[in-house]
Structure 1
């Protein structure tokens, strides 16, 4: 197996031959064999172990074992302990999801602190099969049936071509010890039930099932490559760049058949997985929208507008001091005192400086906001102002407000507030412009 592993690394993971990387090691068969194989090849790596504290002395025993293994391999070791039950109660997630979220957040933290770019996990061919069957049972497109990816941005899974039986045989032949997790035998977990109850039946029905499954994955990957190439060409035709997103003509989408299949293929990478929602937005009212974790899709008359969700670094407001001349974030503004005012425009406004109270604030609009637009009598709610200006939801999310305490001075790029207009040329006049 060592020879096959070496050839696999040299061919498919050449970066591991030169780069220092991190291995997630639980102390079980898979991760222990991975560490030993990497040591045998003379690769440079550190190890990381999570103690979730769920099995009392057994969890502590796993930690002690991995520390000893790291010492025998002359490897740097990182160890952490989690309050897993506390995390479950706080975030209302399953135990398995809690463990996953905790460990990968910690792994990424180590990578950042240590300047390491690659994390290895010990997923193998049996894990791939189990993932395939889980996704199949839940209903999945081709993406979910292709199994676990061998590479992502920072993850590498070099054991995917090898079965657990091969790993166990290598460990036994080389007197390698590992720890058994008793929870792996608990069939209340879907993955365990598939491994213990279902897979043996499949292998009994067809002795070459494991090899046939590998071939199936390969065929699916080839088919997916062809489908993706076609979809990319289709996107070039349909997805018209607009700002930081795209404008997509609905009439052209509706000509695609089968429509649901095309919608899935075109929008899957943007996080839209619910086909009913995708189809319903095509015939919905203008302004209807749906969100994924990363993107927002809005119907705007005869088009769909696709744009990334704006996070703005999770900061909702920015203060501007009185002595500020240039502000570069979140919008580029220039402040200058002038002796004469001119007409306001969308990009430049003039205000009576002594009416301002510092620090000024740049913030997003919120429900209930109102201002006194220059050129109109009285106040107007921003929601109504945006509607009259025919702004779609994406445009509204990108609007910033320049405020003096709780009063809006300028809907940036649109309209100034009448309360701050220049009425006395003898007083200081402040020119504010978008740069």
Structure 2
């Protein structure tokens, strides 16, 4: 197994040589064998162990075992403890997902703080098959059937070519000690049920199951690559990126033979799951939205807009006061207030008002439903929402616009857009005020 791994690394992971590697080690046979193998192959390795405090004294014994292993092999070892149950409740996650999130966040933190190049995990061929079957039974797209990736950004899994049986045999033949996790035998977890009840039956039907499975995974990964290439090809026609905002052109999307399938491929990295609801958003009224933990998908006329959910905070009615003595403000935007003798330049970035008509303090705020103003150059008044619609200002952009108001919320200026005529200077104006962005 040692020589086979050395050859596998030469062929597939030659970039690991002379790099700083952090091994995620539980104390179980898989990660302990990976540690011994790479130590014998003289790679530059360190160990990282998470104590999730889920199994009482057993969890502590695992931690102690890893520390002793690191000392015996003279390998730098990091350990940490998590209150996993509390984290799961606070974040509304299952214990398994909470543990996964905690450990990978910590691994990445260690990698950055200690300049490790890669994080190595000891996933093997049986883990890959179990993951495939879990995804299959829950329902998934093609990507969910392509198995555990051998390389995922900074995470590398060099043992995927080996079976659990091969790893166990190497450990016993070389008198390698490890910690046995008794929870692996409990069938209350889906993975364990599949491991103990389903896979043995499949292996009985096909003794070469893992070999056949690896071929299937290879074919599925090639198919996924074809899809990925097609998505890149159409993205230039359908997608427009503006900073953190991603715009999906609905008209171009609907020209495709199966727009729902393409929409799935485009949006799956952002945590969306209810694909019927996502696709129905195409035909919904502007303003309708679907949220995930980190992203918002918003219908806005001819586009679906994808933006980080924290951008939704832009819609809050934040309120900032401006006193008469203020000649410049910098929060939330920078405005300059100048007393001038005459009007000079005219642009969307500045306005002139009769300061005697202003009721101080002024205020800066976001627009709210029901706001109206008296647009310069027009008769009568107009709702701000109607003005935004007529000007074809997107939902995202209108929620970034500030209103400068006088007294009891009388709009002076939709900043950068349109001035209110009620505060315009006249021939009788003696105190002319220029307000500039």
Question: Which interval holds the TM-score relative to the shorter structure?
Answer: 0.7 to 0.9
Q: Is 1:26 the counterpart of 2:26 in the alignment?
A: yes
CA contact (8 A) 1:371 1:417 kept: no
| Cα distance in structure 2, aligned partners of 1:323 and 1:396 | 26
Does 2:172 match 1:172? Answer: yes
Equivalent position of 2:307 in the other structure: 308
The CA RMSD measured in Å over matched residues stands at 3.8
Residue number in structure 2 paired with 1:148? 148
Task: Please say which structure displays the higher CA radius of gyration.
Answer: 2
Q: Provide structure 1 residue ranges, at least 5 long, that are not aligned to the other structure.
A: none
- Following superposition, the deviation at residue 157 of structure 1 comes to 1.7
Displacement of 1:189 in angstroms is: 0.2
Measure the CA separation in 2 of the matches of 1:252 and 1:90: 41
Residues 1:432 and 2:431 are matched in the alignment: no
2: CA distance, partners of 1:137 / 1:406:
60
1:33 Cα offset (Å): 1.3
2:220 matched to which residue of 1? 220
Q: 1:239 to 1:131 in 2, by over 3 A?
A: same
Partner of 1:73: 73
1:230 aligns with 2:233: no
Secondary structure of 1:48 counterpart: strand
Question: CA offsets, 1:285-313, max 9 Å, x none?
Answer: 24433344555444444x22333326469
Answer whether contact 1:349 1:431 (CA < 8 A) is retained. Answer: yes
Distance 1:401 1:11, change over 3 A: farther
Structure 2: runs of 5 or more not aligned: none
Match of 2:348 in 1: 346
Distance 1:36 1:320, change over 3 A: farther
How has the CA–CA distance of structure 1 residues 33 and 242 changed in structure 2, closer, same or farther, with 3 Å as cutoff? Answer: same
TM-score scaled to structure 1, two decimals? 0.82
Q: Which secondary structure does the structure 1 equivalent of 2:78 belong to?
A: strand
Count of residue pairs brought into register by the alignment: 427
Further displaced range: 30-39 or 334-343? 334-343
Q: Distance in 2 between matches of 1:241 and 1:51?
A: 41
Show the counterpart of 2:49: 49
The residue number in structure 1 matching 2:417 is 414
Residue 355 and residue 197 in structure 1: after superposition, are their counterparts in 2 closer, same or farther (change >3 A)?
same
* Kept in 2: contact 1:84–1:99 (CA 8 A): yes
Alignment partners' CA distance in 1, 2:422 and 2:153? 51
**How far apart are the structure 2 equivalents of 1:130 and 1:417?**
65
Structure 1 CA distance for aligned equivalents of residues 275 and 9 of structure 2: 39
Following superposition, the deviation at residue 370 of structure 1 comes to 4.8
How many angstroms does 1:216 deviate by? 0.3
Contact 1:356 1:420 in 2 (8 A): no
Instruction: Work out whether residues 287 and 392 of structure 1, in 8 Å CA contact, stay in contact via their aligned partners in 2.
Output: no
Structure 2 Cα separation of the partners of residues 227 and 158 of structure 1: 26
